[in-house]
Structure 1
């Protein structure tokens, strides 16, 4: 940014000594530190405080009536929820909280969306995002390679609620999409970097299909994070996260988030026969629809008021505080995660005990070209065979099947043997007997979840120390 551009940007924000509150247009590294902050009028606190309050005081009788009627806020408290003055004032922390609002606004800024809603977990984010679109009798289409826990969520709880989910295995096959999508389909779901096999998705291709059928594209960007890829730039409409992972970064707080891109044409979808009543219909007589009141942010507001508020997966303000603190260092951490992952994946691929490494950023991987296109490897580096950084969660298959995996798993001492990814600590899991244990054998085989596959999540430790730990564990494999 030039000095003139910086001067113009800050001048628009007020007097020279006024704090900046609108971070639009600033670089990613600046926004991850500052976006969502608000001046503390009580004590001049530099770090936004943890607002441990279940509810909010009404100014008077009429203020209470107005907030419950959805009338634009006149108290100023609605500004904490990342929306403009047209936002109704807050009622209860089940809908939102000032601490969580800092994290919401920061994440929306980093992803390039218009608004975000923080919730209690990644599973809550997926559920809430899709419940705002689909009801009993409706249908969702997902790409086949997604996190095992999400497939279980779809096959168990969503089925109990009467929402069916079908899977597309070959995203380039128009006939398969045609067979999968129905008149009752309400969304297409995918992951930017699928867990556990790092078989990255061509989001542009999936977005083309979604647009053709007037469907919103929902992308789980937990493993990618906006530091590596921003799905809205590839045609997505809604982004979800398990903020427990890389966004928070230290494994100490469970959380989730839904980000509204603000670009989906809900009216065009209605004209095409796809109904989204929570967004386009008036909730009660005398009150306009979410779309009429909130425009590009209508989906996020509908999710907050009609799903999160009703079902109640609210995020603890303490965990919201840890989330916005974690995002301050996101780009630095992801750079280290990726640098170490590329080094370790390259090393593992050369070891005799390793049958294969599922890391799309390695030259020779079938998806390497897509990795170079979407994950930032410069063209000149790609020509020299440099790896592209597709996150730090990937699979490695050791020889010897389950017994080989057992020997390797038990031989690791720095890697934590546990469920989880995206921590500062490196972790290992055996998907076949954990996240995918209940899957039929034929589905496991089709997904590439073999007995010898282990999922690695590479942390922030020394690459040399991690390689030494992996080497010692591989020495146990017959």
Structure 2
């Protein structure tokens, strides 16, 4: 009886690909029709997540079991050979080594694929490893990519310095909002990747994903989008992107206690990443721990609720700060250059994201304001990262974008006094606003703005 119960839960109607074992989202075929950007508002990411099979525990627990094994036994000696030549694998409930495939990570991957509307996905040890593996899989030595000039500092350094030094991969950085510049930068037959962020770090410039995807596909390149800043808010694959990257460390985890990443895309692309002889994830080894995969899987069901509250509070703070005369960057404000764009491509009911920026004029003033907000008013923490339930505050130019030189920062829209605020949801909105307003008053930020 026990054996039968376990067997039923192991299969449980799971729909699997027969290509090297990538587990396909149950709803992949239904979601696939939205991958070209048509009627993307008809798919609510929360509904797509709810349609994924719930994985029960080994003994019937409402939470799935964790498979922490590094290696796996086989029942017959020849099974090992069969797994290494692809005859067996996750598609036959056969596993060999967790650097390749792990059942718990695969369960999380199904949810990530449903969230983003892709055929498949796979978790990695960090967001940077997801970016690096995806780019190395798509680009050969001496290759070329076109990338947004406004990227997370680590991503910019990876492309501009590390890949250039180690692989002779060259990049052309463009204003991603200038579609003509983007198209002119793509060299047909040479450029292989168009890379940008759905919502730029930290400028909050919103990318016109449908048009960028159209341009990229017309030129024959793979369109890769980092959606770390906007899970649930924007669905790049449903708008035409080929590959979607996440740092799961941020909003998707939400607890500030996990480092993880993910690559979402077609079955063939995810399979290529896991290939025994040519796979970037398989061979470079940024393996997601099964316990981490379990933790993230348990947090995804309330991601929609969290994102809505992050967005609600960010919009309220941004609106009130603007009324006080502060220079605010937030795509939810009507004067933001891409406000209407985000309204048109964003998923309904998820707002405009949980991050806003204020420009206080100088790095010195930014440090004073941040010090007060953490150590006196208790509005938030001076810390990098984002998506935490507490508010996180940082001066981007001297922290997460410090890898970029002065000219690169200027081109990316990063001023010395730009303070990035990842809006949390602890406490009441009025309580936290009062703490923020005190800093505005104490440092006369509204007066400085009016005098300029």
Fold match (TM-score > 0.5): yes
Instruction: After TM superposition, give the deviation of residue 21 of structure 1 in Å.
Output: 5.3
Quote the offset at 1:175 in angstroms: 5.1
| Residue 445 (structure 1) aligned with residue 410 (structure 2) | yes
Gaps of 5+ in 1: 1-14, 80-84, 263-296, 379-387
Query: For 2:274, what is the secondary structure of its paired residue?
Result: helix
1:371 and 1:133 map into 2 onto residues whose CA distance is: 28
Residues 296-445 of structure 1: pairs in structure 2 closer than 5 A: 297-305=267-275, 306-352=279-325, 354=326, 356-376=327-347, 389-399=351-361, 401-412=362-373, 413-445=378-410
1:185 aligns with 2:191: yes
Whether the 8 Å contact between 1:172 and 1:205 is mirrored in structure 2 is: no
1:82 counterpart residue number: none
Higher relative contact order (CA 8 A, sep 6+): 2
Deviations 1:42-72 (A, max 9, x none): 4122211221100111221211110011114
Aligned partners of 1:116 and 1:447: how far apart in 2?
Answer: 30
Q: Distance in 1 between matches of 2:172 and 2:401?
A: 18
Distance in 2 of aligned mates of 1:403 and 1:173 = 36
Shift of 1:184: 2.7
Q: Which residue of 1 aligns with 2:35?
A: none
User: Partners in 2 of 1:89 and 1:217 — Cα distance?
Assistant: 33
Q: Shift of the alpha carbon at 1:205? A: 1.3
Pairs within 5 Å for 1:109-120: 109-120=114-125
Q: Which residue of 2 aligns with 1:223?
A: 229
Return closer, same or farther for 1:175/1:309 CA change in 2, 3 Å cut-off.
closer
TM norm structure 2:
0.83
Offset, 1:148: 1.8
What residue in structure 2 maps to residue 270 of structure 1? none
Of 140, 147, 167 in structure 1, the residue corresponding to residue 145 of structure 2 is 140
Deviation at 1:93, TM superposition (A): 0.4
Q: Distance in 1 between matches of 2:310 and 2:324?
A: 21
User: SS of the counterpart of 1:228?
Assistant: coil
TM-score (norm 1): 0.79
Aligned mates of 1:405, 1:67 — CA distance in 2: 56
Deviations 1:345-391 (A, max 9, x none): 11111224x2x11111211222111122122569xxxxxxxxx9221
**Cα 1:178–1:27, aligned 2, differ >3 Å: closer, same or farther?**
closer
Contact 1:21 1:37 in 2 (8 A): no
Q: Which of the numbers 55, 60, 71 marks the counterpart of 1:38?
A: 55
Number of equivalent positions: 402
The answer to whether the 8 Å contact 1:32/1:330 transfers is no
Of residues 68, 71, 74, the one that matches 1:52 is 68
CA–CA distance in 1 between the matches of 2:228 and 2:330? 16
The 5-angstrom pairing of residues 192-341 of structure 1 reads 192-225=198-231, 227-260=232-265, 262=266, 297-305=267-275, 306-341=279-314
Deviations 1:171-209 (A, max 9, x none): 444355324435332211111111112111100111011
Contact 2:56–2:65 (Cα < 8 Å) also in 1 = no
What pairs with 1:151-190 in structure 2 (closer than 5 Å)? 151-162=156-167, 163-174=169-180, 176-181=182-187, 183-190=189-196
Superposed CA RMSD in Å reads 2.3
CA distance in 1, matches of 2:50, 2:179: 42
- 2: CA distance, partners of 1:45 / 1:30: 23
Query: Is the alpha carbon distance of 1:170 and 1:194 closer, same or farther for their aligned partners in structure 2, counting shifts above 3 Å?
Result: closer
Over 3 Å counting, the alpha-carbon distance change for 1:118 and 1:170 in structure 2 is closer
Aligned to 1:98: 103
Structure 2: gaps spanning 5 or more residues: 1-7, 16-25, 31-42, 445-452
1:424 to 1:321, Cα distance in 2 relative to 1, 3 A: same
Q: Deviations 1:394-451 (Å, cap 9, x if unpaired)?
A: 211124x222212211111231110110111110000111122242222222222111
Native 8 Å contact 1:118 1:258 kept in 2 = yes
2: distance between equivalents of 1:92 and 1:246?
29
What secondary structure is seen at the aligned counterpart in 2 of 1:365?
coil
Per-residue CA deviations over 1:307-338 (Å, capped at 9, x if unaligned) read 11101000111111111111110111111111
Instruction: Give the 5 Å matches for 1:65-104.
Output: 65-73=81-89, 78-79=90-91, 89-104=94-109
